[in-house]
Structure 1
Amino acid sequence: MRIFFISVAVALLFMGNTGAYAQAGMTDSQVIQYVQDGLKQGKSKQQLMMELSAKGVTTEQALRLKQMYENGEISADSGQTKTVTDTSRIREEAATEKKAEEAKPQESAPAQAPAENSMADQVFGRNIFTNSNLSFEPNTNVATPENYRLGPGDEIIIDIWGASEDIIRKEISPDGSINVPGLGIISLNGMNIADAKEYLKSELSRIYADEGNKIQVTLGKTRSIKINVMGEVMVPGTYTLSAFASVFHALYSAGGVTDLGSLRNIMVTRNGKTVAKVDVYEYILQGKTSDDINLQEGDVVIVPTYEAIVKVEGKVKRPMKYEMKADETVSTLLKYAGFFAPNAYKNSVRVIRQEGREYSVATVERDKFGAFKVMDGDVVSADSTINRFSNKLEIKGAVYRPGVYEFCEDINTVGKLLKQADGLLGDAFTNRAVLYRQRENLTSEVLSVDVKGIIDGTAQDVELRKNDVLYVPSIYDIKSIGNVYISGEVVKPGTYPYADNMTLEDIVITAGGLKDAASLVRVDVSRRMKDNKGTHAIDTVGQNFSFGLKDGFIVDGEPGFVLEPYDQVFVRRSPGYSEQKNVTVDGEVLYAGEYSLNYKNERLSSLIERAGGLTAFGYAKGAKLTRVANDHEIERMRSVIKMMKRELGESLVNSLMMELDSVFTVGIDLEKAMKNPGGDDDIVLREGDVISVPEKTSTVKINGAVMMPNTVTYLEGKKVSYYLDQAGGYSQNAKKTKKFIIYMNGEVTKVKSRSKKVEPGCEIVVPNKVKQNRIGEVIGYATSFASLATMIASLANLLK
C-alpha cells in the first residue's frame, strides 16, 4: 500500500535506523522492493528494520532515500525514480490514513460511513500543520543567527586577505573540532557562531600577525539534526531536519496534531529539561513567534493531550470549537471566536455543561465574562437580538415619504409624524386614516384617525406609542376605478387607465387613431351592468352602444359620449376593405411573375389566361400548385404527424423526414381546367399560391422493389407492365399489389391493374414486403397537406 509504505517504511524505518551493519549493502531499488515485498507478506515495521539492518543498509543510504521520497524523486508503487510528486499531499494522505486506521470500528461493530464535519465541529487552529501552503520550512538563504550553536557537520569558512591571501574551509568533526593548518586542533563544539568568530580570529592572528591582514569567519554548509516528535501527532518518530528547523517545522513534518493533541502546551525538552512551551494560538492570533525556538540535536518535541475543548455557537463571528487552558474564561473564548456578530445579544451568553449524569445550564452576564472559567465539553451559545424595535414608528400610504421613523420627543403624535413625512399626497383620503397599535401583551388593535381634523386643528392630535403604524389611504384604494379596453382596427389596441370625462374620441386618439381598414360607420361600446342598490337579479348582462366616426369624431350617435370604468370599445373592420392578394405563376407561360387576384373566387384558368397562356414547350399535365398552409391546415399537419408516430412508431416517421411544413402541394389537372373553365378541375386560387408549369418530360422512372431501378424513355400507349420489364421486373420481396404512380403534378395513384395509364415524367414505385400497419392509410391522410414529394421519396428509399 503506497501511503503506508511512505509513512512507515521511510518515516519510521529509515529515519530510525542508525545501527551498524554486518554485510554488504543493497542498492536503492533493492531496498524499495524489499520493503514492498515485506509489507505484502505482512511483516511488521520492527521486523523489516532488523532485516534491513542485517543486510547492510547504511545510515547515509537511508537518509538519502528518505530525502528522495520527500522530494518526490522515487515512486512508492514501483521503486523507480519519478519527476513530479506532491510531497505535501503524500504527507497529508499518510496522516489521513493513520486517522482512518485509528478510527476503524471493532470487527463485531457494523461499519458506518464517517459523517463530514462542518466548520462548527472543527477545532480552531488544528489544520495549521496540514496546510500545504504553510510548511514552516527554515530559510537557509539568510545570515546565520548570532546565537546559532556549532556542531559536528557544520562547515566553517575562513577568508584571509590583505598581506596574505588564503581561504580555509573545514567541516567540524564528530568530536566537535576542526584542524587548521599551522594551529592544529581547535574545538568549536557548542560555541555559538558569534563566539566562534572571535575565538578563531584570535587564534589565527598568531600566524597572520601582520596588521595588513583581515580575517572573516562565516558559516558554510550547515549540518542536519535528528529530533524526536512524540505524543499526539499524526506520525510520531525521529526526523532529520535542517539545523535551522523550528518547533513548527517539526510538527508539520510529523503531519500535525491528532484529535487528542494540544495546540496550547507543546513542550520542547533538551537533555531531560523543558526548554520551551509553545502556544500555537499566540502565533495564529497575535503572530507571536518567540516560543517557536530553533531545535538542536537530540531535542524532543512532545505534544500532550488537550486540557479542554469548548464549543461556541450562535451569533459569534467564528463559531467553532476551541482548545482552552484550565484558567481561561468566557471572555478569552469570545476573543478567540472574534467576539459577537453584529446581530448578537451581547449582554449574556448561555453555557451548557455536563455535570455527572446530567447537564446544567448557566446564564453568564456580561460583567461575569472575565470570571466564568470554561471546562472541557462546555457549549457556549450567543443568542441573536429580538426582531423588535424599541423606538420605531411607521407611516404608509398617500404621503410623500412613507417609511420608518424614530419614536422620540420630536415625533410622538400623528400630526408630527405627518409633518416628518413631508405631508399628504393630493390623492390622500383624509376623512379616515387607520392606526395599527400593538398592546403590551403583543396583541393588536386598530384606531380611527381624523387626519383632516388634525391638520385643520378641529380635532385633537393623537398621541403615538412605539411600534405604531399609521396608514393614510388613497382615494384610489377605497374606490375601484377600472380601466378602459379598446380593440380592433386601431393602431395600439389594449387596456388604458380610466380618467374622469374620458370620451369615445379620447380613447380612439389615445390608442393611436384608426387604421386604414377601420369602419367609420360601426364602432361599438359595451358597458357592464351595475346597480349597487338593487335587490333583485337582472336578465340584462350588458349594455351596448353603436357609433359612426369621421376623422376620429362621432358623426352618428351621441356626440361626446363619456365612457365609464370597464367600458370596452370595439372598432370594426370595414366590409368594403380588402388588401391585395398576390399569387405567382412561373415556368412555361408567356408572362411569368406575380399577379394580384381580381376576385375572391378567381380560378386557375383565369390566371393562366392573364399570364398569356402556355408556351409551345409547356406541359399542362405536369403543372403543379404549391400553397401556403393556413393556421387550420398547420394544426391538421401536426395532428397527422402525431398520429403517424403513434401508429407507425416514432423512429419510422423520423426516417421519413416528415416535417411540419408551412407549404404543401395541391394536385391539379391544368389541362382539364383550361378546357373546362369554372369546372371541378378549375380550382379557386388563394393568396400565396404558386403555379409552376414545367417543360414536357419524355422519361419515366421505375423505382423501389424492382431488379434494377431505371429511367427510360416514355412511349405513348405503353402500360405499367412495359416499364416494369424495363427495370428487370419485380424483385423477390416486391409487394406487387401495392405499387403506385407519382405524377409530375404531385398526384399519387395506386396501380390497380397492369393497364394503368402512364404519363411522361411520372415515377412508378413498387414497395417492399415490409409489414407496416396502416402505412397506406396514413400516407393517404398526409398527401392532402404534407410535403408529398419529400415523404414519398423517403418512403421509397426506406422500402428498397
Structure 2
Amino acid sequence: LGPGDAVFIDVYGASQRTIESTISPDGTVTIEGFGPVQVAGMTVAQANAQLRSTLGSRYSSSQIRLTVGQTRTIMVNVMGEVKAPGTYTLSAFASVFHALYMAGGVNDLGTLRNIKVYRNSQLITTVDIYDYILNGKLTGNVRLAENDVIVVGPYVCLVNITGKVKRPMFYEMRRNESVGTLLKYAGGFTGDAYTKSVRLVRKTGREFSVYNVDEFDMSSFHLADEDSVSVDSILPRFSNMVEVKGAVFRPGMYQVGGNITTVRELLENCEGVTEEAFTAHAVMHRMKEDRTLQVIAVDIDGIMNGTVPDLALKPNDVLFIPTKQEMMEEQTITIHGEVQYPGVYKYADNETLEDFVLQAGGLKQTASTVKVDVARRVSNPKALQTDSVIARTYSFALKDGFVIDGEPGFTLMPFDEVYVRKSPGFYQQQNVYVEGEVMFSGTYTLERKNQRLSDLIKSAGGVNDRAYTKGARLERRFTHEERLRTESLLKMAKTQSGGKDTIDVKKIDIGDIYYVGIELDKALANPGCDEDIVLREGDRLIVPQYTSTVKISGDVMYPNTVGYQKGKKAGYYIDQAGGWGNRAKKSNTFIIYMNGKVARVAHNAKPEPGCEIFVPSKAERDPRMLAQTLSIASSVASFATIIATFANIIK
C-alpha cells in the first residue's frame, strides 16, 4: 500500500461499521477514536494484521478486514531498446512485465535476458524473460514504485539454430552458455535428427570457421555472437532392410537377419505369392558396394519346390514378383457407335457379342440391328514377310439383343472392336423457325429432306398484307465444316495482305449464324425453282414489313438514312449523305439488300427499299477499318460477302 490508495475497513460481527479512508502522504489512515495508523509500505495482509492489533481491544468480538478500492497510480520510465520508450502511468500494482507491455515490448536489438530495474538510482533487480518463458519463473519481475527506471540494453549474443530441432529460430544467449543450453531453448532434437554431432559456423574476424561439436562436448562448447548452429537429419537409408514388391500377400519392407536370411524365408514371412503371380521369373535388385544396382534373375518356382538353390539376402535387396497380367499387354475389347456406353472395356474369357452389347448398356433407338460388325486383328508372330490382310470382319444381325443372322454366341477375342451402325431409317425431329409477317409464326418441324421455303410459308398460313417478301432473309447456323472454311478464308485474306494489317484474325468473332441471300418473292411465285432453296435444321426465316428508307454508310461525308425514291441510282443517295469522303474507294461501293444479298454498284446494282449503300475507304492500314467493315454483318450481309469485302480492302 502507498499514499493515495483508497481503502475500506469493514468491522462486522458483534459490531457493524465501515470506515472509508485514503492513505495520506505520510503513509497513514486516520480512524476516528484511534488516530492515525501507519499502513504505507505494507501488503494488504500485513495492513490487516496491523489494524486487528490496533482495533482489537475495542472490537474483540468482531472481525476486521481491509480492502483496497481505487489504487493510486505511479510514473515509471522505460528506456533503451524498446519499441516506444518513454514515461508511463501505471497502476501501483504494476510489475516490470506491465511496463514492458506498455512500451510495446523490446525491439529487434533489445535484450530479453538482462533487463535492469533502478529505484532511487540503485539497481534493485534484473529480469530474464527466458526464465519466465521456459520455466514459468517470475524471478526479478518485481512490483514497481514511483519513478522506477527500466533499462533494456542491446543483446550481447544472438545465435541462430536451424535444422532438425523443435523450435528453429534465433536465440539470445548469456555469456558462456553452451550448445547444450541452446538445444534446450530450441526444444531439443526432433525424432529424425542426427544427434551425434552438430555443425557450428562462426565468424573469426576475417573469415568463417566450421566446428563439428559432438554429443560429449555440447555442454562445454561456449557460444559467441552470430554463431549459426545446424542440426542434420539422419541418412535416408536402411542398414537392415529388404523389400518385396508385386504379387505377394504382404508386400513391404522386412528386417534382414534373424528368421529372414533367404528368398524362401522372405516369401514365407510375407505369406507367399498371390494366385496371379508370375513365378517363373522374378527380379532381384541388389545394391553393390559402390551403390550401383545389380539385377539378379530369381526362379521363385524352383526355390519353393527345391529344384534350384535358395538365394541369400543382403541389406537393401528389393525383390519384385510380377503378375501374369503384367507380363503381357493389357487385353481389351472396344465397342463403337449406337450403344449407351461406347468405349474400351477389359477383356474377359468367353464373352459373347450379346454379352458385350449388354455390358455397354444395350442398343440405342438409333442403332441398326441388321448390321453389327466385329473387326479382329490378324496376328502371326512367326511371319517373315508382310501380308495384305490386316484384319478380319464379321457381320451380324441382332434382335432383342441376340444374334439372329451370323454365328450365335459369337465369342470375342482380345482386341476385337465392335461397330454398331446408325440406322439409315432413323431421324430425329428437325425444327425450323419463321417469324415476322406471316399468319402463324413459330417453330415448325421438317417433314421431308427436301422441304423448301415455299413449303414453310405454306405451313405458316402464308404471308399477310404487310409482308415485304422481297426483303425476307434467312438465318442459318454454322456447321463445323462451314466454320472451318470461313476461318480459312479469313487466314487467306490476311496472307494476301502481306502481313501489313494489324488485325488479329484469331480475335474476330464470326458468331454462330450467317445470312443466306434469298429471293422469297420468286420462291413463292414459282415453288420448286432454284430460288426456292431447301431448308435445314435450325434455319430461321424472317419476313419483314416494308421499309421505305435507304441507309448510306462508310466513307461518306455524313452517314445518313434517307427515304427511298423509286428509280434513283446510288449516286443520288450518296449525295444525300454529303457526297464521297476524302478517301472513298468509289469503284468498290456495294449495296447490301434486306434479303442478305450483296452487289457492287459498278456492276449495275440498283438501290431497293431497306437496303444499305456502303462506301469502303482506300487502303490506309487502319485496324479499325476492318472492324467497321465486319460490323456490317449485323446488317444482314452474308458472311461470305464480308470475307470478299475484307479481301478487297487489303488489295
TM-score normalised by structure 1 residue count? 0.63
Corresponding position: 1:672 with 2:522: yes
Is residue 2:212 matched to residue 1:362?
Answer: yes
Matches within 5 A, 1:199-238: 217-227=66-76, 229=78
SS at match of 2:213: strand
Q: Does 1:340 align with 2:189?
A: yes
Distance 1:341 1:514, change over 3 A: same
Q: Is 1:719–1:756's contact at 8 Å kept on the other side of the alignment? A: no
> Where does 1:126-525 land on structure 2 (aligned, <5 Å)?
148=1, 150=2, 152-155=3-6, 167=19, 169-173=21-25, 176=27, 190=41, 217-227=66-76, 229=78, 241-257=90-106, 261-270=110-119, 274-297=123-146, 299-303=148-152, 306=155, 308-326=157-175, 328-353=177-202, 359-365=209-215, 368-407=217-256, 409-500=258-349, 507-515=356-364, 525=374
Aligned 8 A contact 1:703 1:765 in 2: yes
Change (3 A) 1:157 1:479: closer
Cα distance in structure 2, aligned partners of 1:576 and 1:163: 116
More helix by share: 1
Structure-2 change in CA distance of 1:186 and 1:703 (3 Å): same
The alignment partner of 1:477 has SS state of coil
1:532 paired residue among 381, 399, 416? 381
Aligned-residue offset at 1:370: 4.2
CA distance in 1, matches of 2:382, 2:79: 96
| Alpha-carbon separation, structure 2, partners of 1:661 and 1:723 | 33
Displacement after TM superposition at 1:473 (Å): 0.8
Answering whether residue 542 of structure 2 is matched by residue 686 of structure 1, we say no
Distance 2:348 2:618 in 1: 72
Distance 1:355 1:782 in 2: 76
Deviation by residue 1:434-471 (Cα, 9 ceiling, x = unmatched)? 22223444333233222223444544444433332221
Shift of 1:281: 1.2
User: 1:53-108: per-residue Cα shift (whole Å, max 9, x none)?
Assistant: xxxxxxxxxxxxxxxxxxxxxxxxxxxxxxxxxxxxxxxxxxxxxxxxxxxxxxxx
1:663 aligns with 2:483: no
In structure 2, how many angstroms separate the alpha carbons of the residues matched to 1:199 and 1:577?
112
Which residue identity does 1:451 align to in structure 2? I
Q: Which of 682, 705, 720 matches 2:568?
A: 720
Alignment partner of 1:731 out of 578, 588, 594: 578
Helix, strand or coil at the partner of 2:181: helix
| Structure 1 CA distance for aligned equivalents of residues 558 and 156 of structure 2 | 96
Check the 8 A contact 2:597/2:637 in 1, yes or no.
no
Distance 1:707 1:242 in 2: 85
1:635-672 per-residue CA deviation (whole Å, 9 max, x = no partner) reads: 34555678699998769999xxx954433332222333
Gaps of 5+ in 1: 1-147, 796-800
Q: Deviations over 1:250-279 (max 9, x none)?
A: 344455446565433444455666543432
| Comparing 333-342 and 238-247, the one that deviates more | 238-247
CA distance in 1, matches of 2:147, 2:383: 107
Deviates more, 1:303-312 or 1:623-632: 303-312
Q: Provide the alpha-carbon RMSD of the alignment.
A: 5.1
The 3 A distance-change label for structure 1 pair 331 and 635 is same
Q: How many residues align?
A: 627
Match of 1:542 among 382, 390, 411: 390
Shift of 1:410: 4.2
Pairing 1:690-709 to 2, within 5 Å after superposition: 690-691=540-541, 697=546, 699-701=548-550
Write out per-residue CA displacement over residues 539-579 of structure 1, whole angstroms, 9 at most, x where no aligned residue: 63723435343436677777766655444444445556666
What letter is aligned with 2:166?
A: K
Mapped partners of 2:468, 2:434: distance in 1: 14
Task: Confirm or deny: 8 A CA contact 1:588 1:617 kept in the other structure.
Answer: yes
Deviation, structure 1 residue 340: 1.0
Q: Given residue 21 of structure 2, which amino acid in structure 1 is its aligned partner? A: R
Q: Kindly indicate whether the alpha-carbon contact (under 8 Å) linking 1:702 and 1:724 is maintained by their aligned counterparts in 2.
A: no
Q: Is the 8 A contact 2:599 2:605 kept in 1?
A: no
Counterpart of 1:117? none
Corresponding residue number in structure 2 for 1:789: 636
Work out which of the residue numbers 475, 481, 487 in structure 2 matches 1:626.
Answer: 475
Maintained 8 Å contact 2:376/2:417: yes
1-structure distance, mates of 2:547, 2:145: 109
Cα deviation, 1:354-404, whole Å, max 9, x if unaligned, reads 667663513322x55445554555433322111122343322112233233
CA–CA distance in 1 between the matches of 2:590 and 2:200? 93
AA of the residue aligned to 1:625: L
Amino acid at match of 1:731: G
CA distance 1:782–1:764, shift in 2 (3 Å): closer
CA offset digits 1:560-599 (Å, max 9, x no partner): 666554444444455566666555566777887735344x
Quick one: distance in 1 between partners of 2:389 and 2:258?
A: 59
AA aligned opposite 1:681: E
Structure whose residues are more often strand by fraction:
2
> What code does the residue aligned with 2:328 have?
K
- Cα deviations across residues 178-233 of structure 1 (Å, max 9, x unaligned)? 67777777666655555555556666789xx5878886655555444455556665
8 Å Cα contact 2:596-2:637 kept in structure 1: no
Distance 1:293 1:739, change over 3 A: same
Shift of residue 510, structure 1, vs aligned partner: 4.1
* Deviation of 1:318 (Å): 0.6
Local SS of the residue matching 1:475? coil
TM score, norm. by length of structure 2: 0.76
Deviations 1:296-354 (A, max 9, x none): 34545455665543332220001123233345443332221111112112343334456
Indicate the percent of aligned positions where both proteins have the same amino acid.
42
